[in-house]
Amino acid sequence: MKINAKIAALAGAALLMGSVAFAANSYDGATDDYELPQGFTFYNEVSSDTVEMIGSYYNKTQAGKDETDRYQVEFAGIKEKIGITYNSEKFEFELAPAFMLKDNNQHWAKAKNKVGNDTTRSDFALNNDDLSFAWTNLDWHVRFTPFDIVDFNLHNDVRTPGGYLPIVDQWQSAANLQGEGIGIVFKPIDGLRIALEVPMGFGIKSSPNFLDAEYEDRNKDADDGEGSLKMSFGKSDSDYRFRFNAGVDYKLLEMITIGATVHNVLNRDARAYGLYANASISFIDFNLGYTYNGDATRVSFLDFADPVTVKIGGHHKAHLAVTAAFGDFTAQLETLFNIMKKQSAYDLYAGLKVGYGLLPGKFDLALAAGVAYDLGNGENGRLFYREQGGDNKNINEISGTRSKKGSYKNGEFKTAAPMVEIQPGITYKTGANTFGVKANLQYWLDGEGSYAASVPVSWKYEF
């Protein structure tokens, strides 16, 4: 991801000035202790998936051939994220750059191809292109509330709660009343929020202009809703629609929140809608929603590169999530469904998670499991086998799914194999430190033993 140099410089200057201000105002000479002023928090998080593994087994049942396998194991890299936040009734601010130390050339990798040949690098010398260290993300936002009835936001996600899937920790994209742009939220009465936003680049990509626009094909059917083309200033302005988002939600009786959004209001091709509801009744919390033309949603615990990442897309998606808390025990159930079954590689996801506070607030255990199914022979995102020169070859058309064992003939797409996953995890908190360990495992029911795995660990220090 490219980050605009001006934004980077501004962010660095803000962080430096903030650090100087803290040192000047919060030093206690008697105790040699530094404390952030009230309203400020600081955190540092170091995390790693440790290893990333992906593999398939071949020829197990074919007579006359040895049992051979193909797999790859590599170092997942180390991520460092440093954040500083300030929160008050009138002003809110966050700056959190993230850096990544990564095995750029698979120096620490082990692999074997499908005929059993070891393809591990024979050159064990550590070269300067084997490692990369660069920032991977810059989270930041500003909220300013000069009056009780209005918020001004800069690059600030303001989401309606019904659009959240807690197990996979994913928001429906259309659930954002406003996000990476300049926005204003009106609050004329208690519980009501009316949001307007102009999305902007802000250094997320290199551009001569912060404003974004998307191409609209006037010859397309209004219901087609296919993707859009970023603006090229060489085109006629009449062919483009500048991006503009709007949303509203209302909280009723401190129990139910209903929200609705429209993204890309001016562009029928890229327009997206969302209808969401959240209800908190006693010890149970419900999230319910419908999304039209939103972004594909990752529903796997693994998030490294395709073809491991499993997503559910399509023009029409519906979801339901339920969370229940019984003392130190919590249970969550969620599902996401693509209504138009030919528009996504996977169409149905369901997840279950249970947690128990062995030492409440100190030591927590959790176990999550999920399944994903392809309900139809969709034409998008299919990973399939094709006969070519007498050999089945793996073709990844768009994005990550796995197909059933078989070949590709006469333009017929194969149904993606069902995927199952499991994630046990432990969290331990002591003082300002939080330690976490998980194990992610995915397995495809494709008859070949295809799998993927990682072992995330993390340490977060916050005060």
- Given a cut of 80, whether residue 124 has pLDDT beyond it is no
Question: Tens of pLDDT along 20-49?
Answer: 333 333 334 333 344 556 689 999 999 999
In angstroms, the CA 346 to CA 343 distance is 9
- What average pLDDT score do residues 427-445 get? 94
- What average pLDDT score do residues 73-93 get? 93
SS3 21: helix
In angstroms, the CA 192 to CA 203 distance is 32
In angstroms, the CA 180 to CA 158 distance is 10
In angstroms, the CA 313 to CA 341 distance is 10
Sequence spans of domains, the chain = 296-427
Question: Tens of pLDDT along 136-168?
Answer: 888 899 999 999 999 999 999 999 999 999 999
Model pLDDT, residue 17: 35
Structure tokens at 6: 């001006």
Model pLDDT, residue 24: 36
- Given a cut of 80, whether residue 240 has pLDDT beyond it is no
In angstroms, the CA 463 to CA 455 distance is 27
SS3 302: coil
- Given a cut of 70, whether residue 60 has pLDDT beyond it is no
Question: Tens of pLDDT along 335-384?
Answer: 999 998 777 878 999 999 999 999 988 999 999 999 999 887 654 333 33
- CA 459 from chain centre, in angstroms, equals 20
Q: Which is higher by pLDDT, 212 or 452?
A: 452
Mean of the per-residue pLDDT values for the chain? 76
Question: Tens of pLDDT along 437-462?
Answer: 999 999 988 777 788 899 999 999 99
The dihedrals phi and psi of 251, each to the nearest 5 degrees, come to -100, 125
Q: Which residue, 394, 392, 400, 438, is CA-closest to 419? A: 400
Quick check: 180 and 202 in contact, CB under 8 A?
yes
The dihedrals phi and psi of 106, each to the nearest 5 degrees, come to 50, 45
SS3 49: coil
In angstroms, the CA 139 to CA 284 distance is 31
Tokens 């204003």 belong to residue: 184
Question: Residues of the chain with pLDDT > 70: what percent?
Answer: 69
- Given a cut of 60, whether residue 67 has pLDDT beyond it is no
CA distances from 242 to 29, 45, 198, 223 (A): 55, 37, 9, 20
Model pLDDT, residue 389: 31
Amino acid in position 347? D
- What average pLDDT score do residues 407-412 get? 41
Q: Which is higher by pLDDT, 413 or 284?
A: 284
Model pLDDT, residue 444: 87
Q: Which residue, 226, 228, 227, 225, is CA-closest to 239? A: 228
Tokens 């009106």 belong to residue: 186
Least confident of 126-130, 157-161, 384-388: 384-388
Model pTM score: 0.79
Model pLDDT, residue 201: 66
Tokens 């138009």 belong to residue: 340
Angle (CA) 447-452-454 rounded to 5° is 160
